[in-house]
Structure 1
Amino acid sequence: MRDAMVLKAQRFVNSVYGSRIGTTVEETGEADWATMYALTRALQYELGITALSDNFGPTTLSTLTAKYPKLDADTVPSPDFCRIIQAGLYCKGYDGSDLDGTYGARTQAAVTKLKTDMGVEQAFPGADLTPKVFKALLTMDAYVLGPTGTRQAREVQRWLNGRYLQRQDFFVIACDGRVSRDTARALVLGVQYEVGMADGTANGNFGPGTQSALKAHPVKQGDTGVYVQLFSAGMVVNRRPVALTDTFDSYLASAVRAFQTFVALPATGEGDFSTFASLLASYGDQSRPGRACDTVSKVTPARAATLKAAGITYIGRYLTNPSATSLPEKAVQPGELAIIAQHGLRCFPIYQTVNNDASDFDYVAGRTAGYAAVNAARDHGFKRGTRIFFAVDFDAIDAEITANVLPHFKGIKEAMADSGHPYEIGVYGSRNVCARVGAAGYSTASFVADMSPGFDGNAGRPLPQDWAYDQFVIRTLGSGDGQLEVDVDIASGRDTGQGSFDRPRPAVPDVAFDTRQVPALRADLARYMRSIGRPDMGGVGGDAKLYTNAQAVEAIQDQDALITQLSNTYQMRKALIQTAVYWAMRDYSLADQATDQQVADHHLSGSGSVRDSHTGIGEISAADAIQAWNHCIGWGFATGDHRDPAKDADLWAVWQQLSKDNAFSVRTAALVHLWGTRGRPGGQLPPGDRVTTPRSMRLDLAEFEITELLRRYRAWDPDVESQTHQSLAVYQIFEKYNSIARNA
């Protein structure tokens, strides 16, 4: 909201300091970080600091403290210096005395009110401005109750500021009632100060030294004092229905029992170390036992015995491994689920490809992940109704959750619906990710990544209400053949995995398509293409598409015998060929048709300017086809004569075959994929190609290898990344129906 005095503050900093500090701010009348940064630079200029920075860091603070340990009517060095203070007050919503440059009664009253709102009025009485309060003034933190804050949390924030601000590494935290990572860190600092840690040692991390010292200070009903205050503050920070108190009464004990029950601790009603730890850090007491674990190691009979001896019942294992070389046991291995069942253990499946950056998540990737997870779960034998936990393995901030993660899970949910709801959807990630995905209705239980308390998505956030597994420590269990490393998890009982499994579907060769499945295949593909904005006959002008979903599926079915033969000959999944052809046909446009005509005109009459184009149902250029055939003949994958793409006669002959002979196009599509496994030597590769030495063609290619082959197939396309990204779900849809046929 536009504020006349904030606008005046912005005009002041621009007119007086713009040329001095090398930056100006937009004069919007709305307080923002740019304005606060400019005021910080202006202060640094006044202090004589030459290396100006947006950061009010140690140099600024130490210089300010040395020169002006207290700023008041007698010590403010100049009117402009005072106007920096007044401008900051206006941006914070306090009376800046019309930027008159005088530290008078109005400014003093505003500073006094600011310190009262911060909770530091007793630690720093009076109207003078101290360095740490000045530092806080030039932030966007609020010190009045915000719309999403609570009075209980604000009282904790004010108490922490008032009690600990005079310590070296404690700085004013926001007092808006909204629990943040700063609030959580401040609470740990408070614990560290109370257990006797010196300045410079206390750092706000809940490490071994803090934990060891805290064990000597349990609290229980009837106790009073600062440790009860810290404990009750922890309860408030974790959104429990209590208030800051220095007396451990029966009401607090009852609330503690409810909290302990929720986080799966013994419900004693006492503030023992394990409970205190769960309030202070997302991982809690890392010495406690857990009934669940997740691991990238295969569960062998010896390891199963180790897990049982350690009290483990539930084991998280991965459905796929995106890498062909690293962590060779990451995905569920053949026979492993039978071993788990035989030893009375239960398994919950996890789906994770890369998933460690916001760019890995969007609606299309979610659709692909949903289809891929269903296919993999069925391959391994997970029964209908099993919950699959889809991983968000990075510290997603709120904006990334909104823009990337939620659309991703929307795609997963729609893919699961298209598949007939065979499995439940779970989410793995930080507390905030899990809570928001669940609140959006995209998951039914959470697997919480709590080992990183510093994650923005964990710090100061409560455990999600729907948590099923709480990952809190890494341990090496057992010895010899039974040794394995696991992430230990607390199990709430909301998910119990599976203790028996269907017959797995092995990686056997593909067979002829079951024609009874064609209508369902066609419907799945149509739904997906519509969901990504590619309906039948979409586009206008030259971008208008010429083939419908039904026509593309029919053309592929017409070549099913050949595609099956090629699949068996080259140990290549049919879905690779089917996807390439389907996507090429659905992408073929009026503009492509016009280009094809120019090629024909060039070779027939010399009037066209284009020698070659991507043509036929596989959208393959004659030059690419010739190179693919030449290399495959040389490698023994095909027979025939070598041709020269530089010769018009060879180019024209192959182009005509591609354009008119669907079987030749399909066969060539398979050879282009084989060429891709060798790195397309001599051919164009997509920008940023990630694999220089892919494995040879096989039935169990890793997901990233499938991605690479589809990228390399369309290496000519300027939009190759987007096209590949969207076509991966098409691969999984074809694979769904191919697997039905080969496992009938």
Structure 2
Amino acid sequence: MADEMVRRAQQFVNQVYGSRIGMTVAENGQTGWNTMYALTRALQYELGISSLSNSFGPTTLSTLTSKHPKLNASTVPSADFCRIIQSAMYCKGYDGGDIDGKYNSRVEAGISKLKADMGLEDAFPGGSLEPKVFKGLLNMDAYVTVNSGSDAIRNVQRWLNGRYVKRSDFFIIPCDGHNSRDVSKSMLYAIQYELGMADGTANGVFGPGTQSGLKSHTVTVGETGTWALLFSAAMILNRRPVSFGGFTAATQTAVEDFQLFARLTVSGKGDFPTWASLLVSYGDQSRKGEACDGVTKITPARAAALKAEGVKYVGRYLTNPSTTSLPEKEIQPGELQTIADNGLRCFPIYQTYGRDASGFNYAAGRAAGQAAVNAALDHGFKPGTRIFFAVDFDALDADVTSNVLPHFKGIQDALQEDGIRFAIGVYGPRNVCTRVGEAGHSGASFVSDMSSGFSGNFGYPLPNDWAYDQIVTKWVGSGDGRIEIDVNIASGRDIGQNSFNKPRTAMADVRFNGDYLASLRTDVGKYMQSIGFPNDGGNRIFTHAECFDTILANDDVITAQSNRFNMRKALIQTSAYWEMRHYDLVDQTVDHQVASYHLNGVGAVKDSSTGIAQISGDVGIRAWNHCIDASRAATILPMARNPCGS
């Protein structure tokens, strides 16, 4: 919905500063980052900063602080400078007067309301505008609860702002009732300040100094004061049901529940392991884990080293898409039996190349589900095993919505159509795991908490359905048993398998069993429709039925040739079906032009890469000649066809 005062703010920044700041904004009455960027640039222009940018960074803040440490009716330098403030206020949802360049009582009241919402009524009383508040005014953070935000979290946010805003590296955080990267980092700054770290030393990182200091600040029942407030704040930000304040008996009960949930030693105290688990995703990395995962084959010696370390469950990969990198990443022949013989259990992981959002979509999910089932059966995993499908990148929340959830719907559909022989798990950052589970696409999470800087980990609580929590990489064992592993805390929600079927061996393809013809035709058609190819052909020449029946009509010859050349039928059938489904009027026209040239001497199109095989005549001839040169002509002759197809 358009806001007329926001539209007036946009008109002002365009008319007065558009030619000066190198940008204009849409005059649509809707606040957005572009409007905030333009106002930021306008401020920089008024401050005399020559290199304008969208960022209200250190230069902007230091220049503003030195020139205008407190803006009000008597200090605002010009009418347009005041209009920038008024415009920003309206974009932020506060009354800024008439955008008339007058810092009047309405502007003062609006600024006072803004600072109260930020929690700064004591730190910065009155209606003047301080530089850090100006910085907070020129972003998209909210200072009231939005999107069902928590009042308890908002209280923590306001308290942090009010207590620490005057520290040089602490900037105003949102007060919207939601934990986030900035809010979580502000907690680390707060703890470092209370530990006595100076400005410039405190850095918001959970480093050795912070960890050492926290080990001396265990909080228990009856304690009040700043450390009790900080601990209750950390609990609240992790969505644990406590009151913001002293460490009460109710707090102790909530701590015990959290410790049990996170598989910490249940002490009821705010001890270091509990502080660590509340503040960073990986928690106390000195913890022993009952599970691990890795890319190295488990031998008897390595199995013994893992058992000595207290490991019970081992995560291993079903496939390895690379033929050169990490040669033991995929489960090796005989390895599962070694795992079982040594009293360990194995949980399978499926991961290929998905390192960004583009690799995740519904079609890729269906393919991943089918491939994982086949790989699990090849290795000998029994029905009922849970396969953890990996999302191994820093997925933003928008990526989860647009890519990851459809991908896991594809996985779910594939496994359902396979008969639900295997259960689905998700590996990834906390937010990914939580949202995939809440969508009903997985039943357990393997959390990549070691990647503490991921957007989906920083500020998100541990998922309720977590099975494995990955916290640190380390070497264990010695000699032949030495092995590098990722240490995982295990919740017991998944315990892998310790009994396996005999691995499937590769066998020559056989003719298709006609009893499954109707089911296969339906399944292939459903898949193609899911990726945009309607069964009636749409804007392409052939329907699904025509393509499918053409391929299956040649099943005998394809089976014979696949056996002769030791290749899978699917490599022939899938590519032929795929190209036939893509064949359109453009392809047909070019093919007719090629035929017209060679048969009738009309036109100039001698060759094309169209047709069902999608291979040009030139390429076909060169491939043919290569085979002759390789002395394979006698073998190839039974398959001789006109390579040009004309």
TM-score scaled to structure 2, two decimals?
A: 0.95
TM superposition shift of 1:574: 2.8
Matched, 1:177 2:172: no
Partner in structure 2 of residue 603 of structure 1: 598
What's the secondary structure of 1:98's corresponding residue? coil
Per-residue displacement from partner, 1:224-264 (whole Å, max 9, x unpaired)? 1111111100111001112211x111111111111111111
- Flag structure 1 segments of 5+ consecutive residues without an equivalent: 643-650, 660-744
Q: How do 1:581-730 and structure 2 match up within 5 A?
A: 581-589=576-584, 592-607=587-602, 609-613=604-608, 618-639=613-634, 653-655=642-644, 658=645
Partner in structure 2 of residue 32 of structure 1: 32
Q: Which moved more, 1:331-340 or 1:508-517?
A: 508-517
Contact 1:2 1:29 in 2 (8 A): yes
Q: Which moved more, 1:115-124 or 1:97-106?
A: 97-106
Q: Supply the distance in 1 between the matched residues of 2:172 and 2:373 (Cα, whole angstroms).
A: 50
Q: Supply the distance in 1 between the matched residues of 2:124 and 2:622 (Cα, whole angstroms).
A: 79
Q: Supply the distance in 1 between the matched residues of 2:515 and 2:629 (Cα, whole angstroms).
A: 40
What's the secondary structure of 2:252's corresponding residue? helix
Q: Supply the distance in 2 between the matched residues of 1:159 and 1:615 (Cα, whole angstroms).
A: 67
TM superposition shift of 1:266: 2.0
Contact 2:316 2:331 in 1 (8 A): yes
Q: Supply the distance in 1 between the matched residues of 2:614 and 2:441 (Cα, whole angstroms).
A: 37
Partner in structure 1 of residue 561 of structure 2: 563
Q: How do 1:421-432 and structure 2 match up within 5 A?
A: 421-432=420-431
Contact 2:445 2:463 in 1 (8 A): yes
Per-residue displacement from partner, 1:484-503 (whole Å, max 9, x unpaired)? 11111111111111111011
Q: Supply the distance in 2 between the matched residues of 1:296 and 1:97 (Cα, whole angstroms).
A: 63
Q: Supply the distance in 1 between the matched residues of 2:338 and 2:542 (Cα, whole angstroms).
A: 54
What's the secondary structure of 1:152's corresponding residue? helix
Change (3 A) 1:453 1:269: same
Q: Supply the distance in 2 between the matched residues of 1:87 and 1:624 (Cα, whole angstroms).
A: 65
TM superposition shift of 1:619: 4.4
Partner in structure 2 of residue 350 of structure 1: 349
TM superposition shift of 1:641: 11
Partner in structure 2 of residue 503 of structure 1: 502
Q: Supply the distance in 2 between the matched residues of 1:615 and 1:46 (Cα, whole angstroms).
A: 62
TM superposition shift of 1:387: 0.6
Contact 2:231 2:275 in 1 (8 A): yes
Contact 1:161 1:173 in 2 (8 A): yes
Partner in structure 2 of residue 135 of structure 1: 135
- 1:464 alignment partner AA: P
Q: How do 1:161-310 and structure 2 match up within 5 A?
A: 161-245=161-245, 247-310=246-309
Q: Supply the distance in 2 between the matched residues of 1:611 and 1:546 (Cα, whole angstroms).
A: 30
Partner in structure 1 of residue 153 of structure 2: 153
Per-residue displacement from partner, 1:33-53 (whole Å, max 9, x unpaired)? 111111111111111111111
TM superposition shift of 1:366: 0.8
What's the secondary structure of 1:472's corresponding residue? strand
Which of 565, 572, 575 is the aligned partner of 2:570? 575
RMSD after superposition: 2.1
Per-residue displacement from partner, 1:464-520 (whole Å, max 9, x unpaired)? 111111111111111111011111111111111111101101345545555555454
TM superposition shift of 1:205: 1.4
Identity of aligned residues (%): 61
Partner in structure 2 of residue 717 of structure 1: none
Partner in structure 2 of residue 447 of structure 1: 446
Q: Supply the distance in 1 between the matched residues of 2:46 and 2:367 (Cα, whole angstroms).
A: 57
Per-residue displacement from partner, 1:532-560 (whole Å, max 9, x unpaired)? 232444124x6454862541342341313
TM-score scaled to structure 1, two decimals?
A: 0.83
Change (3 A) 1:392 1:638: farther
What's the secondary structure of 2:606's corresponding residue? coil
Contact 1:13 1:24 in 2 (8 A): yes
Contact 2:154 2:176 in 1 (8 A): yes
Change (3 A) 1:546 1:486: closer
Contact 1:187 1:234 in 2 (8 A): yes
Change (3 A) 1:605 1:119: same
Q: Supply the distance in 1 between the matched residues of 2:331 and 2:386 (Cα, whole angstroms).
A: 16
TM superposition shift of 1:15: 1.3
Q: How do 1:451-470 and structure 2 match up within 5 A?
A: 451-470=450-469
TM superposition shift of 1:618: 3.5
TM superposition shift of 1:316: 0.6
Contact 1:382 1:501 in 2 (8 A): yes
- 1:79 alignment partner AA: A
- 2:561 alignment partner AA: I
Contact 2:426 2:446 in 1 (8 A): yes
Q: Supply the distance in 2 between the matched residues of 1:109 and 1:589 (Cα, whole angstroms).
A: 67
Q: Supply the distance in 1 between the matched residues of 2:205 and 2:530 (Cα, whole angstroms).
A: 45
Per-residue displacement from partner, 1:314-359 (whole Å, max 9, x unpaired)? 1110100111101001110010000000011011000000111111
Q: Supply the distance in 2 between the matched residues of 1:619 and 1:108 (Cα, whole angstroms).
A: 71
Change (3 A) 1:226 1:423: same
Q: Supply the distance in 1 between the matched residues of 2:501 and 2:29 (Cα, whole angstroms).
A: 65
Contact 1:363 1:409 in 2 (8 A): yes
TM superposition shift of 1:635: 2.8
Q: Supply the distance in 2 between the matched residues of 1:561 and 1:185 (Cα, whole angstroms).
A: 61
- 1:628 alignment partner AA: A
Q: How do 1:363-402 and structure 2 match up within 5 A?
A: 363-402=362-401
